[in-house]
Amino acid sequence: MDPTRHRRPTSDTAGDPGTAGDDAELFWEQHYRTPRTWDARVNPLLAETATPLHPGAALDLGCGTGGDTIWLAQRGWHVTAVDISTTAVERVRDRARDLGVADRVVTAQHDLGRSFPAGRFDLVSAQYFHTPLPLLRNRVLGTAARALRPGGLMLIVDHGSTAPWSWNQDPEIHFPTPTETAAELDLDPARWSVLRADMPRRRATGPAGETATVIDNVLLVQLTAG
Ligand SMILES: C[S@@+](CC[C@H](N)C(=O)[O-])C[C@H]1O[C@@H](n2cnc3c(N)ncnc32)[C@H](O)[C@@H]1O
């Protein structure tokens, strides 16, 4: 399926159900089943945020092929890695086993518009949790926020621009800004702190070694009171 044919927003769309369900599963299954070199590196903003933290329980929302999950597990985190694509979560599970961190990684297939993993977390990471299919994304992120332990962090990194090698080249796409995401989450300021809301630029390297400047939309919030 050509992802550029989809012209729906990547953030919330009105109405229930919260997801395109079977279409979404099929779309992402096809994406991950297509033979290509899968990028298994950690996302830089996740690495920057998590490096100073004491390892605990982490949730990787839309984990893809698991670059972040593996990186966290290698640093002592116990990670729940969730994705709608069975192929993706199987790849994460296999990599965790091959790299000797299977005891710190739990993988689960979830359409997060329909179901959510159990557990309480010190870190929730949503890295480029975008989809061209309908998804009540802010509802998912709200559920994730409620799964944090007191003191826990939620890091949401969205595209502010896409790299030339990205699967998503839709010129009509609007990626939510950190301010928009924070407003949609509507977190109670008595219980939540916004630690970071900015749009940094960075030099990104693609799967074939090509480089481009990209913008990330970064929101980091902390549950300060239980
Ligand atoms: C743009 S990719 C980002 C993957 C990974 N976090 C990364 O940084 O490379 C978006 C991910 O969200 C997953 N996803 C999309 N819709 C989903 C849904 N409804 N439930 C769970 N995962 C979903 C996709 O399968 C895909 O792996």
User: Which backbone phi and psi does 37 adopt, to 5 degrees?
Assistant: -85, 115
Q: How far is CA 51 from CA 28, 43, 151, 154, 214, in A?
A: 30, 12, 16, 14, 22
Q: Is the CB of 65 under 6 A from ligand 1?
A: no
Q: 211-223 and 148-159 as β-strands: parallel, antiparallel, unpaired?
A: antiparallel
For residue 64, how far is its CA from the centre of ligand 1 (angstroms)?
Answer: 6
pLDDT digits (tens, 9 = 90+) for 78-119: 999 999 999 999 999 999 999 999 999 999 999 999 999 999
Nearest CA to ligand 1 atom 16: 131
Question: What distance in Å separates the CA atoms of residue 185 and residue 202, rounded to the nearest whole number?
Answer: 26
Ligand 1 pocket, mutate which of 22, 33, 59, 85 (most atoms under 8 A from CB) = 85
Structural tokens at position 110: 């979830």
Atom of ligand 1 nearest to the CA of 129: 10
Q: Is the CB of 111 under 6 A from ligand 1?
A: yes
Q: How far is CA 82 from CA 1, 79, 112, 129, 215, in A?
A: 22, 10, 8, 11, 25
Q: Is the CB of 149 under 6 A from ligand 1?
A: no
For residue 76, how far is its CA from the centre of ligand 1 (angstroms)?
Answer: 23
pTM confidence score? 0.90
One of 3.40.50.1980, 3.90.550.10, 3.40.50.170, 3.40.50.150 is the CATH number of 3-223, namely 3.40.50.150
Question: What distance in Å separates the CA atoms of residue 140 and residue 19, rounded to the nearest whole number?
Answer: 10
Mean pLDDT of the chain: 89
Question: What distance in Å separates the CA atoms of residue 83 and residue 26, rounded to the nearest whole number?
Answer: 13
Structural tokens at position 207: 């799967």
pLDDT digits (tens, 9 = 90+) for 163-191: 888 877 877 888 899 999 999 999 999 99
Question: What distance in Å separates the CA atoms of residue 145 and residue 185, rounded to the nearest whole number?
Answer: 9
At residue 82's C-alpha, the angle toward residues 120 and 26, to 5°, is 150
On whether the CB atoms of residues 9 and 138 are closer than 8 A, the answer is no
Q: Is the pLDDT of residue 9 over 70?
A: no
Q: Is the CB of 162 under 6 A from ligand 1?
A: no
Across the range 72-76, mean pLDDT stands at 98
Q: Is the CB of 192 under 6 A from ligand 1?
A: no
On whether the CB atoms of residues 71 and 43 are closer than 8 A, the answer is no
Q: Is the pLDDT of residue 139 over 90?
A: yes
Ligand 1 pocket, mutate which of 83, 90, 218 (most atoms under 8 A from CB) = 83
pLDDT digits (tens, 9 = 90+) for 12-64: 433 343 455 689 999 999 999 987 766 789 999 999 999 999 999 999 999 99
Look at residue 18 in the predicted model and tell me its pLDDT. 45
Q: Is the CB of 27 under 6 A from ligand 1?
A: no
HEC profile of 172-197: CCCCCCHHHHHHHHCCCCCCEEEEEE
Look at residue 19 in the predicted model and tell me its pLDDT. 54
Domain ranges of the chain: 3-223
Quickly list H helices, the chain: 22-33, 44-50, 67-74, 86-98, 137-146, 178-185
